[in-house]
Amino acid sequence: MFQALNSPIKNWQGKRVWLVGASSGIGAALARAFLDAGATVALSARRTTQLEAVANNHPNALVLPFDVQDKTAWADAHEKIKTSFGACDLVLFCAARYKPERSWEMQSDDVAETLKTNLHSVYEGLCVLIPSMIARGSGGIGIVASVAGYVGLPNASVYGPSKAALINLSELLYCDLHSKNINVYLINPGFVKTELTEKNSFFMPALQTPEQAASAILRGMEKGQFEIHFPRRFTNFLKLLQLFPYRSRFYLFQRFLTQE
Ligand SMILES: NC(=O)c1ccc[n+]([C@@H]2O[C@H](COP(=O)([O-])OP(=O)(O)OC[C@H]3O[C@@H](n4cnc5c(N)ncnc54)[C@H](OP(=O)(O)O)[C@@H]3O)[C@@H](O)[C@H]2O)c1
Mean pLDDT, residues 137-144 taken together = 98
Q: What is the pLDDT of residue 258?
A: 80
In the reported structure, the alpha carbon of residue 106 is separated from the centroid of ligand 1 by a whole-number distance in angstroms of: 20
57 within domain boundaries: yes
168 within domain boundaries: yes
**Residue 181: pLDDT over 90:** yes
8 within domain boundaries: no
In the reported structure, the alpha carbon of residue 72 is separated from the centroid of ligand 1 by a whole-number distance in angstroms of: 21
Contacts of 135 (CB under 8 A, 6+ apart): none
Pocket perturbation via mutation, ligand 1, pick of 70, 192, 212, 228 by most ligand atoms within 8 A of CB: 192
Index of the ligand 1 atom closest to the CA of residue 51: 40
5 within domain boundaries: no
210 within domain boundaries: yes
Residue nearest to atom 8 of ligand 1 (CA): 146
Say how far apart CA 122 and CA 127 lie, in whole Å.
9
pLDDT tens by residue, 17-59: 999 999 999 999 999 999 999 999 999 999 999 999 999 999 9
Say how far apart CA 132 and CA 110 lie, in whole Å.
33
**Residue 260: pLDDT over 90:** no
SS3 (DSSP) at 131: helix
SS3 (DSSP) at 102: coil
Index of the ligand 1 atom closest to the CA of residue 192: 3
Strand 90-93 to 16-20 pairing = parallel
* DSSP result, 198-257: GG--S--TT-B-HHHHHHHHHHHHHHT-SEEEE-HHHHHHHHHHHHS-HHHHHHHHHHHT
For residue 58, what are the domain limits?
Answer: 16-256
Mean pLDDT, residues 240-257 taken together = 92
In the reported structure, the alpha carbon of residue 176 is separated from the centroid of ligand 1 by a whole-number distance in angstroms of: 27
241 within domain boundaries: yes
Domain count of the chain?
Answer: 1
217 within domain boundaries: yes
pLDDT tens by residue, 48-90: 999 999 999 999 999 999 999 999 999 999 999 999 999 999 9
Kindly report the average pLDDT of the chain as a whole number.
96
pLDDT tens by residue, 187-227: 999 999 999 999 998 899 999 999 999 999 999 999 999 99
Task: Specify the CATH number for the domain of residue 86.
Answer: 3.40.50.720
Pocket perturbation via mutation, ligand 1, pick of 24, 114, 155 by most ligand atoms within 8 A of CB: 24
Strand 227-230 to 182-189 pairing = parallel
2 within domain boundaries: no
SS3 (DSSP) at 22: coil
Asked whether the CA dihedral 169, 174, 179, 182 is positive or negative, the reply is: positive
